[in-house]
Amino acid sequence: MSDRNSQRDREEVFSKSVRAGKRTYFFDVKSTKSNDYYLTITESKKRQGDDGVAYYEKHKIFLYREDFQKFIDGLNEAVGHVGTLKVDAPEHHYDRERDREQDSGNTEKPSSTFTDVNFDDLG
């Protein structure tokens, strides 16, 4: 096996992709040279350029082991807060789903697309 393949095998430990509408999220666990682990979270969105050619816009977050619990705590708090806003949302909050429904003539309520993410297996 070449050095390049050996390094690649050492770095890639786990990968999970999640399709969510027009976005795909990639959760990749990788190892460092010192055999510590970190997580990359990548959001990928398909876009169309001015020339009509499709391309993928990607945004990546690197999350290191020592930050996992703080990240989980912050994510859980933010998701919990969003849950409270869904019930008591003020009328002046911008609602993209409502605007899309009105534009398309669809007045049905969209089904919930919330997915509970659990990072406990990584820590």
Q: What is the pLDDT of residues 23-70, one digit of tens each?
A: 999 999 999 988 899 999 999 999 999 999 999 999 999 999 999 999
Domains of the chain: which residue ranges? 3-122
What is the per-residue pLDDT across 57-74, written as a single tens digit (0 to 9) for each? 999 999 999 999 999 999
Res. 12 pLDDT band, cuts 50 70 90 = confident
Could you tell me which CATH number the domain at 3-122 has?
Answer: 3.10.450.700
pLDDT of residue 83: 84
Phi, psi of 34 (to 5 degrees): -90, 15
Contact 39, 31 (CB under 8 A): no
pLDDT value of position 111: 46
pLDDT per position as a tens digit, 72-113: 999 999 999 988 885 555 554 555 555 455 445 544 444 444
CA distance linking residue 89 with residue 44, whole number of Å: 29
Residue 39 near residue 26 (C-beta atoms within 8 A): no
Per-residue confidence (pLDDT) for residue 117, from 0 to 100? 56
Other Cβ atoms within 10 Å of 38 Cβ, number: 19
Report the pLDDT value the prediction gives residue 62, as an integer from 0 to 100.
96
Threshold 0.85, pTM exceeds: no
